[in-house]
Structure 1
Amino acid sequence: MPVDMTHPVLTTLESVLDTARPLTSGAVADYIPELAKVDAESLGISLVSSRGDVHDAGDSDIAFTIQSVSKPFVLALALDEHGLDEVTKHVGLEPSGEPFNAISLDAETGRPLNPMINAGAMVTSSLIAGATADEKFAVIKDGLERFAGRDLIVDEDVFDSETSTGDRNRALAYLALSTGSLAASVDVATAAYFRQCSVAVTARDLAIMAATLATGGVNPTTRERVISEDAARWTTAVMTSCGMYDDSGTWMVNVGLPAKSGVGGGIVAVQPGQFGIGTFSPRLDERGNSVRGVAMLEALSKRYGLHMLSHRGEPHSPVGSLRSEEGRTVAELRGEIYFAAAEEIFTRLTPLMNDDGCLVLDFSNVTRVGLAVKELFRAVPQLVGETSSGQPRAIVVDPDGVLDEA
């Protein structure tokens, strides 16, 4: 019979909620009338691992509108459809250092500075396939649903409110149109964008969506490839420098996770290769970021060393052991081997590839090898050639085929 116990990760998330709960500064967004009606006390967090394990605490299942948290995911869809070169003809990749609704256009090209501000996000939405707003939004909604792993709905009251108060966004869209950046009419682009922002999600949805970026574009709960690995990497990079508006630099110093906030109260954060986090708390600071959401993610990062630039000490050596065997030196390799590990292997072991014997590189205990690094190891026997007696200087033993092309 299983023992009834609290999962340690749940305890962690609950403690983060306790850290943020006393904070009462900030206010709900009221420039969109429907957003002013939300419960300011709602507070939730969810963490989803790259294996698809879901951990929730607090109000993680309360629905709210995704707002600007949709921006990186729609960017990812556009990148997957058109590629980086085409997308960046229309929108830049540089931080603006300005509020989300600022007029931030490149002085030379006229492009919006990045896809995380409103002007750039409307350009990104305009790039999605479809001649009408409904057609574009159908593609966007399908993509967001594949990121979340479930069907999503539009909060029509919020959409109506967005539409009736969206004159500034229309003005930004007209500016983008005047520079040739907008890929659709203003009416089509803004209508698709307003509806995109009005999609209802939960903190759990955001965590799954973030985990999909963390795993290189594969939803870890459905196992569906949603976008390409390139699109996931490019999107995460833009989130790193631009995701928290004019607070992005401070965010990266204090938290160090690629993230995106929205005025609906959500924040999505990515730990590449490991997990995604979604938070929900509607009170916003002066920059439009959730006060409690920022506090929760700061607490998690500082307590558990989540900063993506943290130094975690010397990695384990990929060379498990060296032994002599019938005139050969056998190097038992282990773990995951990417460029840094390959550099150590070649630096330490290349001197052993000489006329006195043969070096055997045994990959039996290796779990994963970087794609480009595979090519280096497959080429080793040809690169080092043979001894003067015609024997190979190096042999690669790969019983599980970890060096096979993926």
Structure 2
Amino acid sequence: MRSPVQTYLSGLHARVRAADPFAAHPTPGFRTASAGSPAEGLSVLYGGDPDHLGIAMTTADGFSYRVGDACEEFSIQSISKVFVYALALMDSGFDLVDGKIDVEPSGSAYNDLSSEAGSGRPKNALINIGAIAATSLVRPVGEETAFERILAVFSACAGRQLSLDEEVLRADYETGAHNRGLAWFLSSWGIIEGDPNPAFDDYTKQCAISVTAADLSMMAATLAHLGVNPATGERVFPEDVVERVLSVMLTCGMYDDSGDWVTTVGLPAKSGVGGGIIAVLPGQLGIATYSPPLDRHGNSAKGIVAHEEMSADLGLHIVRAGKPGRAVIRSHTTVDRDHSSLRRSPEDEAVLEEHGDRAHILELIGDVHFSGFEAVSRLIEELDEPQVVVLDIGKVDELSGSALMSLARLAATMDEEGIAVGVVDPDALLRRHELKRALLREAAEAGVVDGAVEAAPTDGAEGQSRLPVRIFASRHAALVWAEDAVLLSEEDAGAQPVRQQGPVLGGLSPAVRAVVRGLLTAETAEEGQVIRAPGDDFDGIRFVVSGEVHSVSPDGELMAVLRAGATFGEYALGTGAGQPFAVIAAQRSRFELLSAEALERMEAESPAAAAALWRSIAHDGYARLVQAVRGEERTE
């Protein structure tokens, strides 16, 4: 099944790739007028193809999405500063690093001489002068040089062995006079102790390491996962180091454009003049883009547009961050294990026991934002040939706009593949008109004209919508719908059909059935009518002809749903205290009553027929008990 996240990223990639981020006027469909004017002499560095655009996203549990040129290699450049700063904190300690490098935004370009008057201390570790100082604080381990240690740590974050781009390294050496001067400036103030050339060399090399957007998204996800690579499980950085690094990224990562970035994207981030940008949603996601054309700040112009769109569309701004991933999935079961209270025939029960694993129920909980629904959609993708998927949001506190759009994409995809989607929404959290708007927007972005969606009602009876999502006010109603879908599917495949004849009359011989039918009288109950109340004396046995009635316990719990063919009333005989629970008409229903007086007459005039009837009633009651016990065992 096509992932709704992958669908969204593919659509975003197509739109951003076709846009002109340097246009004088706002680009239609985007929230920002432009990403800034092109950089003079920096529009594209290192021979990158200006048409390249790659987007990658990796979740905090290690699953990656990639679109476009996400596997195209380019040099990491200044994005390296983030991970080297983390290494410096690990190797030299917070006190020593803080004494040599401040944590304040510079408000200046990446290559400015932004240092503290009187001490030479760089403003932060994410501008060139601060990064060179941080590189000098990385310590060799054993026979490993400082740069070899840097490369090994970068590789551990990426989850694969990275390498140095020798061509980029030569170019950086040839144009590195300014950075070499910064290294000597740091040495003059004692920030770099001893010869500053090794620090300059290692800094130049670290910037020339070759990566892809896919690599960078995994590296960012390692930071999101508090220093543990989510794919390999290797701990690369301690948690306190990651906390510091992400804090500095949030305020300093985009140079003199950091303020605009925080207000529009709102994620810890870092850019590089190689065309890459990484962003981190702590605990949830690592995101990376690659597009070589740079704006006047030295940031990837289309990369900024892509990140702004993702933050707004998916609700990623750090002030709106919700629970991480699978924390929103409370339970996952199937209708062969978690069935409705509808009384079904033994034949239908057998079909559901064999094929009910094709109807899935996912119960969600808490606040559902993008990353949470991403985990839901990924779980659904992994299901083996599902026929029905029900999302129970009865315990959801908040369903964000990004999650709603993800639901719309998921529903559209599943509808195309013939998978039915239902939502249990007892608190009307998911308003019908909001879902319609989301589906229409998704159809418009995909260029699809869907008459069924456009004609969908915004209100009406439960589940009676032409949208590719059925909405139910109760879990029971959704379970009945899911079970019926499985039964009807098996009927179409040649299995036993859904049965309407009740087992009590169905188990009698034609002669006995005729005796019983001769004693029945017709009754009708309107919706909401209490047909039997707790404590009522036995007044006969009712056979449901049409409609639906509910057995409800004294504390309001739904115990059983009865439809055509089912019986009720006989339990009042066995308790000694009359009717044990209420029976209420859920809709207008018709019955045939075998009254207590008629039963007495039958026992007197046709004792053999009466005995056969009681045997059938006892057999049906035992079958119901077995079904109930089996259901309890499955859900334990």
TM-score normalized by the length of structure 2: 0.47
Give me the whole-angstrom Cα distance separating, in 1, the residues matched to 2:321 and 2:268.
17
Instruction: Report matched runs for 1:5-404 at 5 Å.
Output: 5-24=1-20, 25=22, 35-130=45-140, 135-183=145-193, 185-310=195-320
Give me the whole-angstrom Cα distance separating, in 1, the residues matched to 2:194 and 2:15.
45
Give me the whole-angstrom Cα distance separating, in 2, the residues matched to 1:181 and 1:38.
35
Give me the whole-angstrom Cα distance separating, in 2, the residues matched to 1:118 and 1:311.
31
Structure 1 residues 184 and 242, CA gap change in structure 2 (3 angstroms): farther
Letter paired with 2:133? V
Give me the whole-angstrom Cα distance separating, in 2, the residues matched to 1:28 and 1:97.
17
8 Å CA contact 2:43–2:293 kept in 1: the answer is: no
8 Å CA contact 2:40–2:296 kept in 1: the answer is: no
Give me the whole-angstrom Cα distance separating, in 2, the residues matched to 1:125 and 1:104.
17
Give me the whole-angstrom Cα distance separating, in 2, the residues matched to 1:223 and 1:296.
29
Indicate the residue corresponding to 1:345 in structure 2. none
3-state SS, counterpart of residue 278 of structure 2: strand
8 Å CA contact 2:224–2:286 kept in 1: the answer is: yes
8 Å CA contact 1:45–1:278 kept in 2: the answer is: yes
Deviations 1:319-357 (A, max 9, x none): xxxxxxxxxxxxxxx989xxxxxxxxxxxxxxxxxxxxx
Query: Which is worse superposed, 228-237 or 175-184?
Result: 175-184
Give me the whole-angstrom Cα distance separating, in 2, the residues matched to 1:165 and 1:196.
15
Letter paired with 2:286? G
3-state SS, counterpart of residue 226 of structure 1: coil
Shift of 1:84: 1.4
Shift of 1:305: 1.3
Give me the whole-angstrom Cα distance separating, in 2, the residues matched to 1:18 and 1:235.
33
Give me the whole-angstrom Cα distance separating, in 2, the residues matched to 1:199 and 1:207.
15
Q: Which blocks of at least 5 consecutive residues in structure 1 are unaligned?
A: 314-333, 337-406
Shift of 1:186: 2.1
Deviations 1:369-401 (A, max 9, x none): xxxxxxxxxxxxxxxxxxxxxxxxxxxxxxxxx
3-state SS, counterpart of residue 110 of structure 2: coil
8 Å CA contact 1:29–1:284 kept in 2: the answer is: no
Give me the whole-angstrom Cα distance separating, in 2, the residues matched to 1:179 and 1:253.
36
Supply the RMSD in Å over aligned alpha carbons. Answer: 2.2
Give me the whole-angstrom Cα distance separating, in 2, the residues matched to 1:32 and 1:303.
28
Identical columns (%): 43
Structure 1 residues 116 and 305, CA gap change in structure 2 (3 angstroms): same
Letter paired with 2:76? I
Deviations 1:145-195 (A, max 9, x none): 111111001110100110111001011111111111124522111110010
Shift of 1:22: 2.4
Shift of 1:266: 0.2
Bigger relative contact order, structure 1 or 2 (CA pairs below 8 A, ≥6 apart): 1
Structure 1 residues 29 and 47, CA gap change in structure 2 (3 angstroms): farther
3-state SS, counterpart of residue 140 of structure 2: coil
Deviations 1:220-258 (A, max 9, x none): 010000010011111000100000000001100000000
Indicate the residue corresponding to 1:374 in structure 2. none
Deviations 1:67-103 (A, max 9, x none): 0001011111111222211111111100000000001
8 Å CA contact 2:46–2:168 kept in 1: the answer is: no
3-state SS, counterpart of residue 277 of structure 2: strand
Shift of 1:107: 1.4
Shift of 1:27: 5.4
Indicate the residue corresponding to 1:375 in structure 2. none
Letter paired with 1:11? T
Letter paired with 1:13? L
3-state SS, counterpart of residue 18 of structure 2: coil
Structure 1 residues 38 and 30, CA gap change in structure 2 (3 angstroms): farther
3-state SS, counterpart of residue 37 of structure 1: coil
8 Å CA contact 1:29–1:264 kept in 2: the answer is: no
* Matched residue count: 309
Structure 1 residues 21 and 159, CA gap change in structure 2 (3 angstroms): same
8 Å CA contact 1:30–1:36 kept in 2: the answer is: no
Shift of 1:19: 2.9
3-state SS, counterpart of residue 303 of structure 2: helix
Structure 1 residues 28 and 159, CA gap change in structure 2 (3 angstroms): farther
Deviations 1:275-308 (A, max 9, x none): 1001100000000000010000000011121110
Structure 1 residues 183 and 271, CA gap change in structure 2 (3 angstroms): farther
Structure 1 residues 100 and 148, CA gap change in structure 2 (3 angstroms): same
Shift of 1:130: 3.4
Shift of 1:36: 4.1
8 Å CA contact 1:100–1:118 kept in 2: the answer is: yes
Give me the whole-angstrom Cα distance separating, in 2, the residues matched to 1:23 and 1:100.
26
Query: Which is worse superposed, 181-190 or 17-26?
Result: 17-26
- Between Structure 1 and Structure 2, whose CA radius of gyration is higher? 2
Letter paired with 1:74? V
3-state SS, counterpart of residue 287 of structure 2: strand
3-state SS, counterpart of residue 11 of structure 2: helix
Shift of 1:108: 3.7
Letter paired with 1:201? V
